[in-house]
Amino acid sequence: MNQEQYFRRLPKVDLHLHLAGTLQPRTLLDLARKNGVSLPTRDEDRIYRFRDFYDFLDMLERIARCIVSKGDFARVSYEALRDAGAAGNLRYAEMFFNPQYHYAHGIDYETMVDGYIEGIEAAEREFGVVGRLIPSINRELGPDAAVDMVRDLIENPRDRVIGLGMDCAEYKGKPHLFAEAYRMARRAGLRCTAHVCEDNQTLEQAPPSHVIDCIEILGCDRLDHGYNMLADPAVVGRCRDCGIPCTVCSHTCVASRLRTRWDNISRMHEGGLSLVVCTDDPPMFGTDIGQAYVTVCEELRMSPAEAADLSLAGIDATWLSNDEKRGMRRRFKAEIDVLMAALDSSSEGSARQEASRA
CA atoms of 94 and 100, how far apart (whole Å): 19
Q: What is the DSSP letter of 263?
A: H
| Residue 252 pLDDT level (bands cut at 50, 70, 90) | confident
pLDDT recorded at residue 116: 99
Those residues with Cβ within 8 angstroms of residue 180's Cβ, 6 or more apart along the chain or in another chain = 143, 147
- Structural domain boundaries in the chain: 3-350
The H-assigned helical ranges of the chain are 3-9, 25-35, 53-65, 70-88, 99-103, 109-127, 143-155, 179-187, 209-216, 233-242, 258-270, 289-299, 304-317, 322-357
Backbone angles phi, psi at 118, to 5 degrees: -60, -45
| Residue 348 pLDDT level (bands cut at 50, 70, 90) | low
Nearest partner of 183 among 175, 172, 174, judged by Cα: 175
Rounded to an integer, the average pLDDT of 185-198 is: 99
For the CA atoms of 33, 36, 40, 41, the dihedral, rounded to the nearest 10 degrees, stands at: 20
Overall CATH class of domain 3-350: alpha beta
CA atoms of 228 and 124, how far apart (whole Å): 36
- Contact between residue 286 and residue 317 where contact means Cβ atoms under 8 Å apart: no
pLDDT digit string, tens, across residues 255-272: 778 899 999 999 999 999
Question: With 0-12 CB in 10 A as exposed, 13-18 as middle and 19+ as buried, what is 337?
Answer: exposed
Q: Please determine, for residue 155, whether its predicted confidence score (pLDDT) is greater than 90.
A: yes
pLDDT recorded at residue 266: 98
Rounded to an integer, the average pLDDT of 201-221 is: 98
pLDDT digit string, tens, across residues 124-152: 999 999 999 999 999 999 999 999 999 99
pLDDT digit string, tens, across residues 10-35: 999 999 999 999 999 999 999 999 99
CA atoms of 4 and 75, how far apart (whole Å): 31
Those residues with Cβ within 8 angstroms of residue 57's Cβ, 6 or more apart along the chain or in another chain = 168, 169
CA distances from 24 to 271, 282, 302 (A): 35, 9, 30
| Residue 299 pLDDT level (bands cut at 50, 70, 90) | very high
